[in-house]
Structure formats: structure tokens, C-alpha cells
Amino acid sequence: MSRVSGPWPPVDVEPPAAHPKAPAPGTDLGVHYDECFGCGDDVEAGLHLRSTVGEGNTVHSKFTVTPAHQGAPGLAHGGLLACAFDEALGSAVGNLLRRPAVTGKLETDFRRPVPVGSTLYIEARLDGTAGRKIYVSADGRLDAADGPIAVSARGLFVQVGFEHFSTHGDPQALDKLAEANRKNERTRGDEWEINP
Ligand SMILES: CCCCCCCCCCCCCCCC(=O)SCCNC(=O)CCNC(=O)[C@H](O)C(C)(C)COP(=O)(O)OP(=O)(O)OC[C@H]1O[C@@H](n2cnc3c(N)ncnc32)[C@H](O)[C@@H]1OP(=O)(O)O
């Protein structure tokens, strides 16, 4: 079976245009929510992804695989690797476009085993937008920014209103996200508002 799953993006898109207030290349993006499984400091067995803005509409993330992330003995669980890519792609969308969005579709291509103790260097990039649809993709390299590609992913994120999070999730979601954003403001001089 071919690994290629069709053209990407699958529809005509506008080239991605970073928000004028998007953080500059080199900016450490911090934690978007302390209880997030992908990046939160409060989730002991979480992925603790750390992300930095790259050049050209990219975000660079690092994820170190611990014994808490195993599927087979000594190897990362594929579902958790997919989670790391969801987080990295979502970080690119949220931080570079500054549009609230959720994952509509996530496709992963597992090319090499990822052992416990290894670090994935993930580069996520904005590929284009079509109305509310935001197309993103990423490659994860083993143990170095120029290491062999172990996992690749493609995602469709769909822009939503901020009320998506408080209506379908925690009624206090916007306050919690705003508090996390205030923490980031303190660490990186950011200015954006989550509460509409
Ligand atoms: C600015 C503030 C940021 C702050 C923060 C910064 C940092 C941020 C870091 C975040 C890092 C975490 C990243 C994790 C992100 C999650 O894990 S999000 C959680 C997982 N995802 C979900 O729970 C989503 C659940 N699904 C839904 O809520 C709804 O299905 C959706 C996705 C909102 C779409 O529903 P809808 O609004 O009714 O829209 P709908 O008309 O169905 O779809 C819109 C378009 O998308 C297309 N579409 C939707 N789903 C699909 C699909 N699966 N396949 C193909 N096309 C699709 C539709 O065909 C439609 O296309 P058009 O007709 O416009 O051409």
C-alpha cells in the first residue's frame, strides 16, 4: 500500500498569512493550558511538549518519550505520538494565525519506531487556509533537528468561535485559557486576548 494519501492540501487554499501579532521566530511559546495533556506542566504523565516559533510559518516542538508513553516495551505508543503531533500542529495554528480552532482530521504516518528515551524534533508548518479550514503538516525527526524522519502528520483544523470551548467543555474554559495566556504574557510580553 502506498504511503501517499493524495495531494496536500486537498483543496485550493490561500497561502498562510501569519497574524500581524504572531510571535516572532525564536519565541518560546510556553504552555497554553497547565492541564493540557500535550504541553501542561500539571499533567505528570503528559507529553510536556515545548515549542518555539521557527522561520516561515513553522513551529518547532520537542517531545521526549518516557516510560509513561510506552505501547510495546521500550517503544512509544502510536496514539501518544499522534497526540504530540496534534499539539504541535495546533500550536502552529493557534500561535501563528491566532485563530481559535480544533482538530477536524489528523493523519499520521509512522515510519520508524520511536524508543523510550528518544526525543522527537517536530517541525509543524502552515500549508494554507480555505475559509474556516486550516491545513497543516509536520515531520518528526529522531533525536536531532536533522535526524531521520520517524513520524509525519497532516491535519485539518477548523476555526471555531471561542464559545466552542465553554459550551462543549468547561464553562470556565475561557477564564482558564485567559489565565494561561496572562502567564505567557508575563514570560514573553504577549498581548492577545482570549475573552472576546
Ligand atoms: C487565538 C487563540 C488561540 C489560543 C491557543 C494557542 C495555542 C493553542 C495550542 C493548541 C494545541 C492543542 C491542539 C489540540 C487540538 C485538539 O485536540 S481539539 C480536540 C479534538 N477535536 C474536536 O474535538 C473537534 C470536534 N468536532 C467539532 O467540534 C466539529 O465537527 C467541527 C470540527 C468544529 C466542525 O463542525 P462545524 O463547525 O459544524 O463545521 P462543518 O461545517 O462541519 O465543517 C467546516 C468545514 O470543515 C470541513 N470538515 C470538518 N471536519 C472535517 C473532516 N474530518 N474532514 C474533512 N473536512 C472536514 C467541512 O466539510 C466544512 O467544509 P466546507 O463545507 O466549509 O468546505
- Residues 73-96 have pLDDT tens digits of 999 999 999 999 999 999 999 999
Characterize 138-162 residue by residue with b for buried, 16 or more Cβ atoms within 10 angstroms of its Cβ, and e for exposed: bbbbbbeeeeeebbbbbbbbbbbeb
Domains defined for the chain, CATH in brackets: 50-188 (3.10.129.10)
In this structure, what C-alpha cell is assigned to residue 32? 497554553
100 Cα–ligand 1 center, Å? 10
Paired strand residues for 14: 129
Q: What pLDDT, on a 0 to 100 scale, did the predictor assign at position 144?
A: 98
Q: What pLDDT, on a 0 to 100 scale, did the predictor assign at position 179?
A: 85
Name the residue type at position 49: L
Helix (H, G, I), strand (E, B) or coil at 166: helix
Q: What pLDDT, on a 0 to 100 scale, did the predictor assign at position 182?
A: 81
Distance, in Å, from the CA atom of 188 to the CA atom of 135, rounded to the nearest integer, reads 27
- 107-149 pLDDT tens trace: 999 999 999 999 999 999 999 999 999 999 999 999 999 999 9
Atom of ligand 1 nearest to the CA of 29: 7
**In terms of pLDDT, which residue wins out, 137 or 179?**
137
For residue 190, pLDDT over 70 is answered with no
Q: What pLDDT, on a 0 to 100 scale, did the predictor assign at position 131?
A: 97
Q: What pLDDT, on a 0 to 100 scale, did the predictor assign at position 193?
A: 59
Helix (H, G, I), strand (E, B) or coil at 144: coil
CB 11 within 8 A of CB 133: yes
Q: Model confidence at 196, in pLDDT bands (50, 70, 90)?
A: very low
Distance, in Å, from the CA atom of 70 to the CA atom of 188, rounded to the nearest integer, reads 34
> pTM of the entire structure?
0.95
Name the residue type at position 102: V
What are the CA-CA distances from residue 33 to residues 132, 143, 177 (Å)?
Answer: 23, 26, 6
Distance, in Å, from the CA atom of 189 to the CA atom of 184, rounded to the nearest integer, reads 7
Atom of ligand 1 nearest to the CA of 99: 1
- Residue from 43, 80, 102, 184 whose mutation best tests the ligand 1 pocket (most atoms within 8 A of CB): 102
- 18-30 pLDDT tens trace: 999 999 999 999 9
Q: What pLDDT, on a 0 to 100 scale, did the predictor assign at position 181?
A: 80
Question: Considering only 34-38, 120-124, 151-155, 192-196, which range has the smallest mean pLDDT?
Answer: 192-196
Q: What pLDDT, on a 0 to 100 scale, did the predictor assign at position 4?
A: 66
Q: Is 86 a residue of the active site? A: yes
Task: Average the pLDDT over 60-67 and give the result.
Answer: 98
Mean of pLDDT over the chain: 93
Q: Model confidence at 192, in pLDDT bands (50, 70, 90)?
A: low
Tell me which residue of 176, 177, 131 sits closest to 157, measured CA to CA. Answer: 131
Task: Average the pLDDT over 68-72 and give the result.
Answer: 98
